[in-house]
Amino acid sequence: MIPVSCPNCGFGFDAPDESAGKAYRCQKCGKSVQVPGVPVPPGGAAPVAVGAPVAVAPAGGGAGGMAIAGMVLGISALAISFIPCIGWIAFLPAVTGLVLSIVALATAKKAGRSKGAAVAGLVCSTVAIIWIPIYIAVIVGSAMHAVHTLR
């Protein structure tokens, strides 16, 4: 929904997203109100009192940075898990990456950011968390098997 304020009567209401950049009928006085949105450049001919609420995004790279950190940690965890013997330490970045990605995903919508990086981080971390025990089990299993065959 797009917050709109009627220039005629001052009534504030939410216009549907589909009406972005188009005229929308005021719910109070029935006058046509220009809804801010993509088709109309902000500050253009739109006679809207409330600037461009769509463009309002919180400053700082909080969510975006977290999503990227989560993705990097997830990928690192996968890479570390391939190192024999110490692969289990990949759990640390994997779990951290998962937590960061979940937080990034939860705040992405509020911060008006794309969920791409957060989802990628979530997938990488989850794959790492599932993959590491399997990989370790295979290594331990084959090591046990090797010990048995040596005897």
Residues forming contacts to Zn ion in the complex (CB under 5 A) are 6, 8-9, 11, 26, 28-29, 31
Least distance CB 27 / Zn ion (angstroms): 8
* Four-point Cα dihedral 19, 21, 24, 28, nearest 10: 110
29 vs 130 by CB, closer to Zn ion:
29
Please report where in the chains the tokens 């929904």 appear, as a residue: 1
Could you tell me the smallest distance in angstroms from the CB atom of residue 37 to Zn ion?
18
Least distance CB 49 / Zn ion (angstroms): 11
Between residues 29 and 55, which has the closer beta carbon with respect to Zn ion? 29
Q: Which is nearer to Zn ion, 4 or 63 (CB)?
A: 4
Q: Least distance in Å: CB of 6 to Zn ion?
A: 3
135-143 LR contacts (CB < 8 Å, sep 24+): 135/81, 135/82, 135/87, 136/87, 136/88, 139/84, 139/85, 139/87
Assess contact for 124 and 117: CB atoms under 8 A: no
Looking at the Cβ atoms of 4 and 90, the one nearer to Zn ion is 4
CA 41/CA 69 separation, integer angstroms:
34
